[in-house]
Amino acid sequence: MKRVQDQDLERIIGQLLRFGVLLSSLVVLTGGVMYLVRHGYQLPQYGVFRGEPDKMKQPAPMWRAILKGEGRPLIGLGLLILIATPIARILFSIVGYLLEKDYLYVLITGVVLVVILWNI
């Protein structure tokens, strides 16, 4: 009985990972096309590290810039979805272990989640 539930969990995790990667690639690609149409003729400047403005890092300014039709923040959104994919995988696992009543692994997976979220 328990074994079957483990396999269910594995199937859902697999589909979640695939979906996250696919969705983020599509968003990044769309943003990339918009970015290249607007800025493709300019010169790249990555030789010196400068950091990124808020609209590339925080959801609210990012969203406003996307609505204005900017490509780079849309790529940024795609990258956020990508980074969120493994984190969502952990959340699903916690729920799965709760359903299996495997509380040791609820705890272990919870620690991993806290370590990640603490630093975002």
Partner 1 sequence: MTILVFSGLLFVGALAAGLLGSLTGLGGGVVLIPLLTLLFKVDIHYAIGASLVSVIATSSGAAAAYVRDGISNIRLGMFLEVATTAGAVGGAFLATYLSTSVIAIVFGVMLLVSAVLSFLKRSDNLLTGPGSKLTRILRLNGSYPTAKGKQDYTVKNVVGGFLMMNVAGVLSGLLGIGSGALKVLAMDNIMRTPFKVSTTTSNFMIGVTAAASAGIYLKRGYIDPGLSMPVMLGVLAGAFAGSRILTKTSVSTLKKVFAVVILLLAVEMIYNGVNHKI
The residue among 1 and 104 lying less far from partner 1, judged by its C-beta, is 104
Closest separation between CB of residue 64 and partner 1, Å?
16
Burial of residue 71 (number of CB atoms within 10 Å: 0-12, 13-18, 19+): buried
Our finding on whether 112 is near partner 1 (CB under 8 A) is yes
Our finding on whether 8 is near partner 1 (CB under 8 A) is no
Our finding on whether 4 is near partner 1 (CB under 8 A) is no
Find the angle CA(39)-CA(42)-CA(45) to the nearest 5 degrees. 105
Our finding on whether 119 is near partner 1 (CB under 8 A) is yes
Exactly one of 1, 4, 60, 120 binds partner 1 (CB under 8 A); that residue is: 120
Question: What are the angstrom distances between the C-alpha of 70 and each of 12, 98, 116?
Answer: 34, 42, 29
DSSP 69: T
Exactly one of 4, 44, 60, 101 binds partner 1 (CB under 8 A); that residue is: 44
Distant-in-sequence, close-in-space partners of 84: CB < 8 Å, separation ≥ 6 = 20
Report the distance separating Cα 35 and Cα 73, nearest Å: 9
Closest separation between CB of residue 60 and partner 1, Å?
15
Exactly one of 17, 23, 61, 92 binds partner 1 (CB under 8 A); that residue is: 17
